[in-house]
A and B are shown apart, each in its own frame.
Chain A
Amino acid sequence: MSIAAKLSEVKIRRLPLRRPAMVERSASISETVEAMKASRLGCALVCERGKLVGLFTERDLLNKVIGESVSYSIPVEQVMTFSPAHLSLDDSVYSAMRLMREGDYRNVPLVDAQGAAAGVVTVRDLVSYFAEHFPKEALNLPPDHDQLMLSAEGA
């Protein structure tokens, strides 16, 4: 299958996505930050009864919290992005790439068929998908015929 066909046919749910931090909107910034650190992702999904209501990212942390006179004990809903752009688990890898480019996003929250917060796809997930599924292009470096070894192997 060509790269273009794969990108537009493969669904986001097929990627090995990491589970993001999910917090309630009343959670403090401090609790949200701890959950983000544990998830090893750069964002947290803010939910209300399982539904996605907001997104808090490293960028929000940098722009609105770090170095500002904002207490880490206030609710995350005061500094999150409301109603973030999102996709469904069944949307294509291509649609994720396009949304990230158009919105200049690094993280796109995902919802399931019932609209419940289900995960996040990051721009690094897309680069890794690409490297894994097109290994000939991305990983195998063509041999250099003129290469000379400076010493014997193992020497």
Chain B
Amino acid sequence: MICPHCGHNNLDGLDTCEECVHDLSVFDVPMPTGGLQMHIMEDTVGHIPYDRLALVSPSDSVAHAVSRIKTIGIGQAVVVEDGKLVGILTERDLLNKVAGRELDLKMLPVGEVMTKLPETIGERDPIRVVINKMAVGEYRHVPIVRDGRPVGIISAKAVANYILKHSGLEF
């Protein structure tokens, strides 16, 4: 790395120039160059359209939650207690814990089959954070919370569509 102050050729990754002690650390900060990079690094979760929420309580029946999910036309119910997020009930929970079993869904409480305390994100978090969480945790949906209260949910589909929209491949 050439020092912009004295022109000394330093090894890459040094924080200061070996010759003149000029600060080189700022040159290692990833900076968006424009286009999609800029959007992903700087846009916040609020830039992606949220899905509507199907809100249920842990004591509601699974039958009730399924009916809410179908009415709203989304892939999961968000479970709240005193307004705070305590879980989500996803299609995957229904596949793994309900499908094919002899269960009375009207008597089965949501709290017994939901995914407890899911990973969440704030509206002001950058989009790269939600991409990271989905990739690392293998989540398809991440609830958006404000002071512990769910205000929306972001899906992998919405993230993929956002990337496509800003990819420069479509005009």
Contact = CB atoms under 8 A, between A and B. Distances in A.
Contacts, number: 131
Contact of B40 (A42, A138, A143): A138
A15 interface: no
Q: Is the interface of B mostly helix, strand, loop or mixed?
A: helix
Given A42-B92, A67-B67, A126-B156, 6 more contacts: A7-B169, A131-B134, A134-B40, A137-B40, A138-B131, A139-B132
Contacts of B128: 137-139, 141
B129 to A, nearest CB: 8
Interface string A134-152: 1011111111000000000
A140 B91 CA distance: 31
Contact of B156 (A30, A123, A139, A141): A123
B24 interface: no
Interface string A16-31: 0000000000000110
B135 A138 contact: yes
B55 interface: no
A90 B104 CA distance: 45
A61 B36 contact: no
Interface in B129-160: 129, 131-132, 134-136, 138, 140, 155-157, 159-160
Contacts of B136: 131
Interface of A: 2-4, 7-8, 29-30, 33-34, 36-37, 42, 58-59, 61-63, 65-67, 72, 94, 97-98, 100-101, 104, 106, 123-124, 126-128, 130-132, 134, 136-143
Nearest to A96: B160
A61 B95 contact: yes
B128 to A, nearest CB: 5
B48 interface: no
B91 to A, nearest CB: 4
Contacts of B70: 62-63
Nearest to A104: B157
Contacts of A59: 75, 91
A41 B61 CA distance: 26
